[in-house]
Chains A and B, each alone.
Chain A
Amino acid sequence: MRGVDRGAEQEFRKELVALLPRLRRFAWSLTSDRTEADDLVQAACERALSHMHQWKPGTRLDSWMFRILYNLMIDETRRSRKKKVHMPLDEELLATAQSDGTRRMEAKVQLKQVLEAMMKLNPQERALLSLVCIEGMSYKEAADTLGIPIGTVMSRLARARKKLYQMVKGKK
């Protein structure tokens, strides 16, 4: 890799591997599709590895990767335009998460409802929900990651949360 010494490169790869579960979760929340999410993570990792020299050690790798992943998703959305709403579920995960049958069924129904509702929001709203509500980022960190002002984060995030809540709870 250009301009990156071997030790730093190894450290970078190690941190990136450790970040994979969160990247897969972020990608899933953006796409609502496990297969597309993993493909997106793969593309983001390829991009990150080929642009490793652009990452500044000491800064947050998670924010950098989330930004790459989000931008790739936006590019892909612009390219294809017709985004299908397609939501396969992961049986094994639900099986381990919900050993009790009733809870499992309810979790499955809620998962479908939330995934559908997420796909009705725009990509930036989905990303904000994911970064703040799921990843636990502060408004400032989310603003930096997406490159938007903090005031915009607050107004769009509040609107997205209301919309999501109404769509999911409204169905019940």
Chain B
Amino acid sequence: MEKSITDELIMAYVDGELEEDERRLIEEAIKDDEHLREKVRMFKESSQMLQGVFDAPIREEVPQQLIRLIEGSEKRNVAPGWWERLTRSVGRFFGFQAPVPAFAVTAACILIAGLVALIYFKSGPSQNNGTGPIALSQFADFQEGISKTQSGASFLIKEAKVKVTPVLTFKDKEFPYCREFEVIPVGSDRSMEVPAGTGIACLSQRNRWQVITYVSIPKIKKKGVTQNGYELAGRENPVDALVEKRRDGSPLSRDEELEKIKSGWR
């Protein structure tokens, strides 16, 4: 009996593609055959796994430029020049749909540049003076938390008023281990130095975790413009891209990670 039951037939049974008589034949055969039941499980699970993993685009919002492209409201066949893109961006920044006039763009640019300069000179460059996200590693709470907290759980850095959640641990090409983490501000004080974002901390030879990169959440890299003149729709999280570049092998499983935490990352 089992010889005539091919993998294709079992798969078709799982996918509901069989006629009634074939379906009964399979049900009869798998009743007493653990090997066949295992195959049924395998085909079912492979489907469920894929549905779960690729579910995200169905739930998320579609990029507006794709919708505009189809609805025909974007200029086609001609790539917009840098000035047009600038006026559109400035217009969007201030809530206008259409490109704004040149004098308004100039005024807006001066205003934005002034604001940026004011913020910069007031607070100083965030990564070079011992403050800001990279300085997270100076906090004892960070050192202890990143070393002892499993991915998915969070710890608090009281002084910085942030909650840190490690999300992934991986062997690195340069450091023994690195951890990707996310930071969320807690409390109502908005003057804190560490904005919400995501970063990577790596274990140095001196057994200290150092933050090697940090990206605040709104900074999402945009790619250029297609040959047809549309802004490309894709986005990428630069920290995830960096993890992909840096990691040496698959990320640590939950058990492997726990083992490393217990052994003090030896």
Contact = CB atoms under 8 A, between A and B. Distances in A.
Interface of A: 13, 16-17, 20-22, 24-25, 28-29, 34-39, 41-43, 45-46, 49, 86-94, 96-97, 100-116, 129-130, 132-134, 138-139, 154-155, 157-158, 161-162, 164-165, 168, 171-172
A110 B167 CA distance: 13
B58 interface: yes
Contacts of A92: 60
A161 B11 contact: yes
A104 B152 contact: yes
Contacts, number: 183
A interface majority secondary structure: helix
Contacts of A161: 11, 42-43, 46-47
Given A29-B54, A92-B60, A105-B167, 19 more contacts: A21-B62, A22-B57, A25-B54, A42-B226, A42-B230, A87-B240, A89-B237, A89-B240, A90-B56, A91-B198, A91-B240, A93-B60, A102-B153, A104-B152, A114-B53, A115-B53, A134-B51, A162-B42, A165-B49
A132 to B, nearest CB: 7
Nearest to B63: A38
B51 A133 contact: yes
Nearest to A20: B62
Given A34-B236, A134-B54, A165-B45, A13 B71 contact: yes
Given A34-B236, A114-B53, A133-B47, A155 B70 contact: no
Interface of B: 7-8, 11-12, 15, 17, 42-43, 45-47, 49-60, 62-63, 65-67, 69-72, 150-154, 165, 167-168, 182, 198, 223, 226, 228, 230, 232-237, 240-241, 244, 250-251, 253-254
A45 B24 CA distance: 44
Nearest to B50: A133
Nearest to A92: B60
| 7 A-B pairs closest in CB distance | A101-B152, A35-B234, A38-B233, A38-B234, A93-B56, A105-B151, A105-B152
Given A17-B70, A132-B15, A139-B17, A88 B50 contact: no
Contacts of A16: 70
11 contacts: A16-B70, A24-B57, A38-B66, A38-B232, A39-B232, A41-B66, A88-B240, A88-B241, A90-B237, A108-B168, A171-B250
B254 to A, nearest CB: 7
Nearest to B11: A158
Contacts of B153: 101-102
Contact of A113 (B228, B241, B250): B250
Given A133-B46, A158-B8, A165-B42, A25 B69 contact: no
B254 A105 contact: yes
Given A24-B62, A158-B11, A168 B168 contact: no
Contacts of A168: 49
B244 A88 contact: yes
Contacts of A107: 52
A111 B167 CA distance: 13
B5 to A, nearest CB: 12
B55 A97 contact: yes
Nearest to B234: A35
A116 B153 CA distance: 26
Contacts of B71: 13, 17
